[in-house]
Structure 1
Amino acid sequence: MLSIIKEYKKYNVAVFIAILLVLSSCQKADQEFVQKDEGYALGTTYHISYIVNNDSIDYKKEIEGVFTAMNKSMSTYLPSSDISKINDGDSSIVVDKYFKEVFLEARNVWQDTNGYYDPTVGQLVDAWGFGSKNGINEISKDQVDSLLNYTGFEKVALKDDNTIHKEDSHIYFDFNSLAKGYTIDIIGRTLEAKGVKNYVVEVGGEVLVKGTNTKDHKNWIIAVDDPRQVDGDRNLLIKLQLDNQAIATSGNYRKYRVDKITGERYVHIINPKTGYTQKSNILSTSVIAKTCMEADAYATAFMVMDLEQSKTLLKKHKDLEAFIVYTDDSGEMQEYSTDGFNSKILEREKP
């Protein structure tokens, strides 16, 4: 999950999907070449491969232009960004097309999940030490209850003039949970506008694939990490193939904060209904969807919802597939996956 907003250390990014790129560097017979662009953006790494018909073609400049535009629109780490100004109470900001599209999708998922997904938790994210500001040591119930007054997507609106209305100026947007996925979608659109039909875009573990691996004439192969592994380990749980789809994963087992005084561990998922960091038996959720923004948002929502609630929601959405790793009453790791997700799996390790 996340994050156009968070500046994580390069080797401490909370990602749980590994993409297996099995492309050749070039394919002379068909006059097709694999261009690979890699780098560091949005507080994480990115790896993008796409098929072109000339080995001199490189769209890295255009790709980096997308990252720049997203930061200008939605990075809370940039005081000059639109979202930072809006969070500071500037109601005159006319948002761009990127902010607008993310806002509208956030509202859709908020409504669909009955408020379990809510990107107005920014004040709480900061208070718990997961945002752009220093957290509150030994945060009290009264402080949490106070910050809940500034939480609730029903308290904000996109006006006809593309400015943002907030019932209270202290309401703070945090689009971490879908903006990275959206950025991936925009990179995909950018490549398609250049005529690219076969590509894979991975940013911080979230992935969008289109077309095929033209070397092996197969769909792209993706792997999901085992949530039981510790830092430095690399154990895969499943491998799967995607067909013009995106996948995003969220989890509670790597990104956390330890209180320096009490030693208590706080995970990064905030429950917008309680104001507290979420403690549940859900270890990780992987969601396949048509867009990476949608996959990103629902993967976050399923971390907050309990398993039965997630199952009920998935039955309503035939265009969403999910793989949920959780612990049972005895503490043993279990898996739940939809039939559509199972159909994508090539290999599965025992939990």
Structure 2
Amino acid sequence: MKAVTLPLYICIAFLVTSCVEKPKDVIMRANTGYALGTTYSIQYEIKNAQDDYKDDIENVFHVVNKSMSAYIPTSDISRINRGEKDVVIDSYFRAVYEFSREVYEKTDGFFDPSVGALVNAWGFGPEKPINNLTKVQVDSIMAFTGFDKVRISDEGKVFKDNPSLTFDFNSLGKGYAIDLIGKMFDEKGIKNYIIEVGGEILTKGKNTKKVKRWTVAIDSPVQESEERQYIEYITLENKAMATSGNYRKYRVDPETGDHYVHILNAKTGYPMKNNVLSVSVVADNCMKADAYATAFMVMPYEKTKKLLSELKDVDAYVVSKDQYGNIQKYTTKGFQDLIITEF
């Protein structure tokens, strides 16, 4: 949904590692392209050589953009952000809104898609940023920011306590679009696929060309050479993964030269400044993985671990630096079980 030229988070590399003989009757289709401000690569098993669902995939991106892209002036979210009161939201907007509410409550407000005005002010949204943003300006925006200040009626109308409150669903909208593509595949009877959009993925079944589970690599958040480096390799089956990080996307203030990372702390209104480099989350759907990967980037470390112990079907891999600059890794048991060292 966001108009940038590079993937927002971690890229995933599909690995061709098996030497098992390929089944002769398996036909895999690969569709690639550009959508939601990033690239996508989708592989799926088809029954007939002429089957190609790229148009269906592009249609999913279209309906998600029409509903939730802040970069399209005529989208529902853009009209709501401008304060138009006659907008009736569609099922896509409602699904993302309701799940946002759930994650907002479970994370004690650290995950908050009502930060759109702050995203714009810091230069990560569709609007012109405010250079040399002051504490007074941040505090004034924070006064009308908060998911507790908005609600949706049964009829699908959005009511905001302050008309300046602005939504930004980039933290989970891409994951939701991936889930919709997966649902479309399921309805067409496709049993094996991997969907990757900007580094976020959803898998079902196996890589039947290789007679094994889908295998992916996670980029290292510290790239020390021009050659791409990976920090872990994992296998996925009927799972989604999303990764959020602060090391690749940032804005440089043209006047001061200060670097501002793209993930904002909804509690303070400021870009995050902590030792966490990246968080990868595995869950049963990509919207969930997407949302919690963002939340865990801003939540206090101990609070993240406590919530992970309570959440069902959510596992995480956290990469950080200690006070001496050494890389530290924390993984839940469920995530650890997915890591592989041999192919």
TM-score range, shorter chain: over 0.9
Counterpart position of 2:243: 249
- Describe how 1:68-87 pairs up with structure 2 within 5 A: 68-87=62-81
Deviations 1:290-309 (A, max 9, x none): 01000000000001012111
- Secondary structure of the residue that 1:66 maps to in structure 2? helix
Counterpart position of 2:91: 97
1:7 has 2:10 as partner = no
Query: Which of residues 168, 171, 174 is equivalent to 1:174?
Result: 168
Query: Which of residues 127, 150, 153 is equivalent to 1:159?
Result: 153
* Amino acid in the other structure paired with 2:29: Q
1:282 has 2:291 as partner = no
Taking structure 2 as the reference length, the TM-score comes to: 0.96
- The question of whether the paired residues in 2 share the 8 Å contact of 1:126 and 1:132 is answered with yes
- The question of whether the paired residues in 2 share the 8 Å contact of 1:31 and 1:54 is answered with no
* Amino acid in the other structure paired with 2:257: G
Deviations 1:215-237 (A, max 9, x none): 22211001111001169541000
**Displacement of 1:196 after TM fit?**
0.4
| Cα distance in 2 between the residues matched to 1:49 and 1:169 | 43
Counterpart position of 1:144: 138
- The question of whether the paired residues in 2 share the 8 Å contact of 1:19 and 1:202 is answered with no
- Secondary structure of the residue that 1:346 maps to in structure 2? coil
- Secondary structure of the residue that 2:341 maps to in structure 1? strand
| Cα distance in 1 between the residues matched to 2:196 and 2:13 | 7
- Secondary structure of the residue that 1:288 maps to in structure 2? strand
Query: Which of residues 98, 106, 113 is equivalent to 2:100?
Result: 106
| Cα distance in 2 between the residues matched to 1:259 and 1:20 | 36
- The question of whether the paired residues in 2 share the 8 Å contact of 1:150 and 1:172 is answered with no
1:234 has 2:223 as partner = no
Q: Relative to structure 2, which stretch is displaced further, 209-218 or 61-70? A: 209-218
Deviations 1:163-206 (A, max 9, x none): 11111111000000000000000000011111101000000000
- The question of whether the paired residues in 1 share the 8 Å contact of 2:15 and 2:217 is answered with no
Deviations 1:288-343 (A, max 9, x none): 00010000000000010121111010000131100000111212111000000000
- The question of whether the paired residues in 2 share the 8 Å contact of 1:249 and 1:296 is answered with yes
Deviations 1:112-143 (A, max 9, x none): 00000000000000000000011111000000
Q: Does the C-alpha gap of structure 1 residues 179 and 206 become closer, same or farther in structure 2, counting only changes over 3 Å?
A: same
Counterpart position of 1:62: 56
Q: Does the C-alpha gap of structure 1 residues 231 and 164 become closer, same or farther in structure 2, counting only changes over 3 Å?
A: farther
Kindly report structure 1 stretches of 4+ aligned residues shifted beyond 4 Å. 27-30, 230-233
Q: Does the C-alpha gap of structure 1 residues 130 and 232 become closer, same or farther in structure 2, counting only changes over 3 Å?
A: farther
1:258 has 2:262 as partner = no
**Displacement of 1:92 after TM fit?**
1.6
Q: Does the C-alpha gap of structure 1 residues 16 and 230 become closer, same or farther in structure 2, counting only changes over 3 Å?
A: farther
Deviations 1:98-119 (A, max 9, x none): 1000000000000000000000
1:293 has 2:287 as partner = yes
Deviations 1:249-294 (A, max 9, x none): 0000010011111111110111111001110011100000001000
- Secondary structure of the residue that 1:294 maps to in structure 2? helix
1:210 has 2:204 as partner = yes
1:305 has 2:310 as partner = no
Aligned CA-pair RMSD: 1.6
**Displacement of 1:15 after TM fit?**
2.5
1:32 has 2:22 as partner = no
- Secondary structure of the residue that 1:176 maps to in structure 2? coil
Q: Relative to structure 2, which stretch is displaced further, 107-116 or 225-234? A: 225-234
- Secondary structure of the residue that 2:172 maps to in structure 1? helix
**Displacement of 1:162 after TM fit?**
1.1
| Cα distance in 2 between the residues matched to 1:315 and 1:71 | 34
Counterpart position of 1:270: 264
* Amino acid in the other structure paired with 2:36: L
| Cα distance in 2 between the residues matched to 1:19 and 1:182 | 21
- The question of whether the paired residues in 2 share the 8 Å contact of 1:184 and 1:203 is answered with yes
- Secondary structure of the residue that 1:189 maps to in structure 2? helix
1:198 has 2:185 as partner = no
- The question of whether the paired residues in 1 share the 8 Å contact of 2:122 and 2:133 is answered with yes
Counterpart position of 2:331: 337
* Amino acid in the other structure paired with 1:127: A
| Cα distance in 2 between the residues matched to 1:251 and 1:284 | 4
- The question of whether the paired residues in 2 share the 8 Å contact of 1:123 and 1:150 is answered with no
Identity of matched residues, %: 50
- Secondary structure of the residue that 1:90 maps to in structure 2? coil
1:186 has 2:180 as partner = yes
